[in-house]
Structure formats: structure tokens, C-alpha cells
Amino acid sequence: MLDQTVNPVVEDITAQVSSHPEFSNHMKVFQITDEASGLKARIAIHSLIEGRSLGGCRRWEYESDAAWNADILRLSRGMTRKSAVAGLPLGGAKAAINHGHPTAAMMRAFGRGIAMIETQFGMVYITAEDVGISEALLIEAKKETEHVRGIAPVQKDVELAGGDPGPYTAYGVFTGIKVAVKYRLGKESLKGLGVAVQGLGDVGYSLCEFLHKEGAKLVVADLDGERLQRAVDTFGAMPVMPHEILSMDVDVVAPCAMGGVLDENIRAPIVAGSANNQQKDEINNAESRSLKEKNILYAPDYVINSGGLISVYYEGETKEHVMGIISKQVEMTLDRIFMLSQKEGLDTATLSDQLAENLLQDKVSFETVFMARMVA
């Protein structure tokens, strides 16, 4: 029985968003509003595969309508590419709730809105966790729609994948850092190498755990003093100010906070972190190109951060199996992207965008696309 008190309004706002500079053939943009709870959410569906799309939901207080649209348009485009490169049969989408602290009632309305998108528009949007959205909030949304991932399955005698994707994303980033270090610095181990981690949230903190175990020396920054102190106490990390972290003189910088952070101040030979949309000018891959000119190896964001998506897709399978898929997938794709980038003289982001487009158009495997270019 539907709860009649949950009563959001879903609008198709594609036409009004289509003049935004980040709009690039998105299929639909929806707005969900709910007067009773105060929910204001937008969902951008960039592509559908077999009628489905997947992408997390974030919460943020946007300074303008245009900034809100920019975020969902960029993030959803990235999800299409991320799924394609990860070999998953899912279209790309992303949602953002424009609020600092979404409530349970807002999440119920959000979940109902997702169900209405399916019944009214015939499109499946599957939601999951992103910045600021907890598992507890997702559980509220799931009361209204089955299309929610990232809720921990009931554990049996073996540990199952699912729930918070952060640690899985971190594991993929950790694997990617090792691939980049081997490629760019010729080293098999991270022992003694300096890694600067920006953002110590779900992904960043978990990444620090993996790096610390492997013997890396950590430099860290976060806007949240408690999170910063925890990393200092637990890992002996060196704290620096948020504006200093990406220009540190280290071996690797790992942006694990918000997007649009790559700039000319980066000095480390490797950039490899989880943040989505790390470039400011993603359409032209301007930052990726200028990093390549400076011989800085950039691990494209949607390739290195696909571990969370993979864990969500394989939710319910054993954790060990899923961790194996993540490391194999990230290692294989990054390794090939670095190789092709060198062969063709193209920056890594342009190259992965091209590979993703080939995969989407030709519906062949990554290996087929890679080999065709490698022998060309």
C-alpha cells in the first residue's frame, strides 16, 4: 500500500537545462520537489542501457541553479563512461539533493520520485551513495522504490559485498596508484613514497588505510578538523592546510574530495584519486593535456574510481570475489590507457573518453578496442 502522505512532483526539465554548457546529449533531466518535506532533487539521465541507468545521489548546498545543473550533467556523463570502461551493462545517471542535511522524509519523497520516473517515463534510474548520503538515508528511499543500491546485505557465513561503496572505491584507487607508480616511477612498491590525500571521507580515509599498510608516507588535508586529527593519530600522517595539499612535493597526489581541483600548481609526477570530475574544463580535457605536457601522469577519474560502481553492481556476491574483480579491472584498464597514451602521444583523459565512446558505439570489449589501436 502506497503511503498517500508521500506526494512529490516529478517534472521533466530537460528542455530548460539543454542550453547549459555541460549538456551533452543527456536523455532526460528530472526535478523532484516535495513541499511537505522540503525536498528539491534533480536527476540527470545521460544514457540508458537495457532501459537502466545507475549513479549515486549526493547532497550539496548549491550556490546557483546553474551550479546544480553543472554538477549532475558532468557527473552523469562520467557515469556513462565509467560503466562502459568497467564493462558493465548500465547507462549513466546522477542525482543531487540541493540541501545541507536531507531528512528521512526527503529521502522517502526522493524514492517515490524515482518510482514515478519509471511509471511515468519508462526509465529506470538506480540510486546509490555519493557525497553526504548515508546508508541510513538510502534505507528511507528504499521504502518507496526497489531501485536503490549500496545497502549492506544480510551477512551469512561469508562476507558479502555491498553497503557503503567508499572502501571498494578506495581499494580501486589504491590499485590504480600502484599501477601508476610502476608505470611512471618504475617502482613495484609504495614503501617510503609520499602520497598527499585531499579529503578524508569515506574514500580518502579508507585509501589512507591501504596506503599506510603498504608503507607509504601520508600527507593529508580535510576541512573537518576531527577527520584530519584521526588520520594524524592513526597513520602518523602529516597534516597540511586544504589549499596546500595538491601542490605538495610528493610522489602521488590523490584528490578525494570535490571536483574541479586540477591546476597548474600540481608538482607531483602522479595524480591518482577518487574525486569525480577532477578537471575544470572536462569538455576539452584542458587540465589532462597540460599535465601530460609537464610529464605528470594523470589516472582518469572515472577509470580509477570505478571500484564503488563495481561493488554496487555485484552487491550480494562475496567480498573477496568483488575485490578481485575491482583490482583486475582497474589494473587492466589503467595499464592499457597509460600504454596507449604513450604510443599515441594523447593525454590520458582524451584517450579514455575516446575508448569509452568506441565501447559504447561498437559494443565490443575493452580489449578489442585497445588491441585495434595498439596495432594501428
Ligand X SMILES: NC(=O)c1ccc[n+]([C@@H]2O[C@H](COP(=O)([O-])OP(=O)(O)OC[C@H]3O[C@@H](n4cnc5c(N)ncnc54)[C@H](O)[C@@H]3O)[C@@H](O)[C@H]2O)c1
Per CB under 6 A, contacts with ligand X among 68-127 are none
172 binds ligand X (CB under 6 A): no
Window 37-56: contact mask with ligand X (x via CB under 6 A): --------------------
3-state secondary structure of 161: coil
Cβ proximity to ligand X: between 78 and 113 the closer is 78
d(CA 283, CA 285): 6
User: For residue 50, what is its C-alpha cell?
Assistant: 537495457
Of 7-15, 27-35, 192-200, 229-237, which segment contacts ligand X by CB under 6 A?
A: 192-200
Cβ proximity to ligand X: between 34 and 315 the closer is 315
Of 144, 222, 282, 353, the one binding ligand X by CB under 6 A: 222
Of 106, 161, 203, 334, the one binding ligand X by CB under 6 A: 203
Catalytic one of 28, 40, 82, 94: 94
258 binds ligand X (CB under 6 A): yes
Least Å from the CB of residue 298 to ligand X: 16
Strand pairing class (39-45; 52-54): unpaired
Q: Of the candidates 32, 97, 107, which has an alpha carbon nearest to the alpha carbon of residue 68?
A: 97
d(CA 298, CA 271): 5
d(CA 346, CA 288): 10
Cβ proximity to ligand X: between 10 and 138 the closer is 138
Window 235-254: contact mask with ligand X (x via CB under 6 A): -------x------------
Cβ proximity to ligand X: between 107 and 257 the closer is 257
Buried b (16+ CB within 10 A) or exposed e, 113-140: bbbbbbeeeebbbbbbbbbbbeeebbbb
Of 113, 199, 260, 269, the one binding ligand X by CB under 6 A: 199
d(CA 287, CA 367): 27
| Cβ–Cβ < 8 Å for 279, 262 | yes
22 binds ligand X (CB under 6 A): no
Tell me the site size for ligand X, rule CB under 6 A.
Answer: 28
DSSP class of 247? G
Of 274, 288, 329, 348, the one binding ligand X by CB under 6 A: 274
Of 91, 113, 163, 166, the one binding ligand X by CB under 6 A: 166
152 binds ligand X (CB under 6 A): no
d(CA 237, CA 228): 9
Least Å from the CB of residue 312 to ligand X: 8
| Cβ–Cβ < 8 Å for 247, 229 | no
As a residue count, the chain comes to: 376
d(CA 32, CA 114): 9
Residue with nearest beta carbon to ligand X: 201
Cβ proximity to ligand X: between 306 and 358 the closer is 306
Q: CA 161 → CA 115, 155, 208, 308, 328, distances in Å?
A: 25, 9, 20, 10, 16
217 is catalytic: no
257 binds ligand X (CB under 6 A): yes
For residue 76, list its beta bridge partners: none
Query: What ranges in the chain are assigned the alpha helix state H?
Result: 14-17, 65-86, 104-121, 135-142, 166-185, 202-213, 225-235, 286-293, 301-304, 307-313, 319-344, 348-362, 366-375
282 binds ligand X (CB under 6 A): no
Least Å from the CB of residue 16 to ligand X: 25
204 binds ligand X (CB under 6 A): yes
Cβ proximity to ligand X: between 175 and 305 the closer is 305
| Cβ–Cβ < 8 Å for 111, 99 | no
333 binds ligand X (CB under 6 A): no
Cβ proximity to ligand X: between 8 and 307 the closer is 307
Cβ proximity to ligand X: between 168 and 370 the closer is 168
Of 43, 96, 253, 256, the one binding ligand X by CB under 6 A: 256
End-to-end Cα separation, the chain, in angstroms? 59
Sites of contact with ligand X (CB under 6 A): 130-132, 165-166, 169, 198-204, 221-224, 227, 242, 256-259, 274-276, 305, 308
Residues serving a catalytic function are 94
